Structures are given as C-alpha cells and as structure tokens.
Amino acid sequence: MAWLLFTMAMFYLNHYDFFPLHLPMTTSPSQSADEVICQCSGTTRGYIEKLVQQGLDVDAISQRSGALTGCGGCEWDIAELVKALGAQ
Ligand code: FES
C-alpha cells in the first residue's frame, strides 16, 4: 500500500506544477508554445495548437504526436486545450 501511495505521489509531482492542487491550464497568449503538455512524448503546446489549426481532433493529435500514448496523465489538459482552441 505504501508503495502505491509513493508511486501516485511521484506521478503527481512529475506531472503537475502544484501539489496537491491541480490547477486547470489556460490558453492565454502568454503561455509559451514551448511548454511541454505531454511529459511522456514531449508534445508541446505549440505543436498541439498547430495540429488543432489543421483540424485534427484529440485522437488524431494523439496519433500524430504520440501524446496520450504513455501514462495518460495529460488527457485532461489536452482535451481542455483542444476544446478551448476549438472555441476560438
Ligand atoms: S503525460 Fe503521459 S501520456 Fe501524456
């Protein structure tokens, strides 16, 4: 049980800037295009924005970039980013 809690804590610390709170991302222009959204694949915000502009959905973005093919910890962030960009 302690091993599971330790693993979960390490995952959280590696994937989120705030502990224990995960604050939602924003899509403001001040966000860097170089910000890595998917830690497993190294997919950046700028690359996701480029793929969204090409009309790709989350599944297609995953196939093209490799995002969401690892731990899945970026799923919510990518879905929210795609949703926000699509609404613009
Ligand atoms: S952070 Fe692990 S799949 Fe994206």
pLDDT tens-digit map of 37-83: 999 999 999 999 999 999 999 999 999 999 999 999 999 999 999 99
Tally of domains within the chain: 1
Q: Is residue 2 part of a domain?
A: no
Ligand 1 center to residue 23 CA distance, Å? 17
Confidence check: pLDDT of 26 > 70: no
Give the contacts of 33 (CB within 8 A, at least 6 positions apart). Answer: 44, 45, 46, 49
CATH code for the domain of 31:
1.10.10.1100
Pick the atom of ligand 1 nearest to 75's CA.
Answer: 4
Q: Is residue 12 part of a domain?
A: no
Three-state SS string across 62-79, please? HHHHCCCCCCCCCHHHHH
pTM score of the predicted model = 0.67
Q: Is residue 78 part of a domain?
A: yes
> What are the tokens at 29?
């222009």
Ligand 1 center to residue 72 CA distance, Å? 5
CB of 36 within 6 A of ligand 1: the answer is no
C-beta of residue 7 within 8 angstroms of C-beta of residue 71: no
Pick the atom of ligand 1 nearest to 70's CA.
Answer: 3
Q: Is residue 55 part of a domain?
A: yes
CB of 37 within 6 A of ligand 1: the answer is no
Domain containing 33 equals 22-87
DSSP per-residue letters across 9-74: HHHHHHH-SSSS--PPP---TTS-TT-EEETTTTEEHHHHHHHHHTT--HHHHHHHH-TTSSS-TT
* pLDDT interval class at 3 (50, 70, 90): confident
